[in-house]
Amino acid sequence: MTTVRREAFGRLPPEEGGGEVEKFVLQSDSVRVEILSFGCIITTLETKDREGQFSDVVLGFDTLEGYTRKHPFFGAVVGRVANRIANGRFTLDGKEYQLFLNNGPNSLHGGAKGFDKVLWSPQVLPNGVRFFRLSPDGEEGYPGDLKVWVTYTLSGRELAINYQAQTSKTTPISLTNHSYFNLAGQGSRDVYDHEISIEADSYLPVDDTKIPTGEVAAVQGTGFDLRQPVELGKHLQKFHLDGFDHNFCLHQGQDRRLVARVFHPPSGRTMEVHTTQPGIQFYTGNNLDGSLKGKGAATYPKHSALCLETQNWPDAVNKPHFPKVLLHPGEEYNHTTWLVFNTA
């Protein structure tokens, strides 16, 4: 049985367009999640440890102001296109499109004002909430009026996030949720004691601006082989890695499949990621530097959380051999990711 509650969370300042921001609290016996109508942001996600104690396992802020200021996309839905587009440029039907460059020479997570920085229209469901917005033709440089629905539903230990979209003109689209997880509880120092596995035989090597080179490389015999669980801290040391910020290539298909699992032995908390998406970006919070004041005055240093962003492959709009990222009029974009929380 899931209960859904809505309450006021704050008001956007006039320079942000004004408007009331609401918070939606979804609660089952084992999971409690809070989501904002601003950016579809997951602000809180509480799950039980093996003793039955709840802890909040996602990074974020106590107030709306934290989310309206610059931050690393904590808990937000990012789009139109998650991840990076090289030089913020792509060509469709002979026409070149130029996007805002907000990540060195590249465009990241939708540009200057992506889906994470706008107010969505909410609709309460029996076991969740659905958000809608129309991204107008030309927004952030992207073509077509894009209708987007993001639906969160909670069932027992499972949080489902469904993304749907329809467009008036051909456009690239890749949506994800950018939650930062620490299964020891948000505000914990690092995720080195987490064990992680990712069901991927290959990954995408990147250049020094984090754009895929185009090669699809086998994980076998490398530090990217996470098919068996590894303890993160020891693994980074063993392979002399500064952290991960890479797309892992998943087995293709439209069906739900288990793609990643995180286990925190001290608390017993586990999180499984299931998805219909073709890729998952594994990011270990390399750019966190302790400068942000988070919930409960916590600071978030480097490697204090990890992200598992299910998505299309980065820069797919410029790489014809990557999975299809274009949505055409008359088609529907429809992907779901499920987060399943348990204890071991």
Among 321, 311, 257, smallest CA distance to 283 is for: 311
Active site residue 178: yes
Listed in sequence order, the residues at least 6 apart from 94 whose beta carbon sits closer than 8 Å to its beta carbon are none
What letters, b where the CB count within 10 A reaches 16 and e where it falls short, cover 240-250?
eeebbbbbbbb
DSSP state of 233: H
DSSP state of 251: P
Active site residue 303: no
List, in order of start, the domains of the chain with CATH numbers: 3-193+282-343 (2.70.98.10)
333 among annotated binding-site residues: no
Gap between the Cα atoms of 175 and 66, Å rounded: 22
pLDDT tens, residue order, the chain (344 aa): 999 999 999 999 998 889 999 999 999 999 999 999 999 999 999 999 999 999 999 999 999 999 999 999 999 999 999 999 999 999 999 999 999 999 999 999 999 999 999 999 999 999 999 999 999 999 999 999 999 999 999 999 999 999 999 999 999 999 999 999 999 999 999 999 999 999 999 999 999 999 999 999 999 999 999 999 999 999 999 999 999 999 999 998 889 999 999 999 999 999 999 999 999 999 999 999 999 999 999 999 999 999 999 999 999 999 999 999 999 999 999 999 999 999 99
Extract the tokens encoding 279: 């890729």
What global pTM score does this model have?
0.97
Extract the tokens encoding 146: 């894009």
83 among annotated binding-site residues: yes
Gap between the Cα atoms of 5 and 210, Å rounded: 40
202 among annotated binding-site residues: no
> Looking at 109, 178, 194, 274, which residue is catalytic?
178
179 among annotated binding-site residues: yes
Gap between the Cα atoms of 312 and 299, Å rounded: 31
178 among annotated binding-site residues: yes
180 among annotated binding-site residues: yes
> Looking at 139, 195, 272, 309, which residue is catalytic?
309
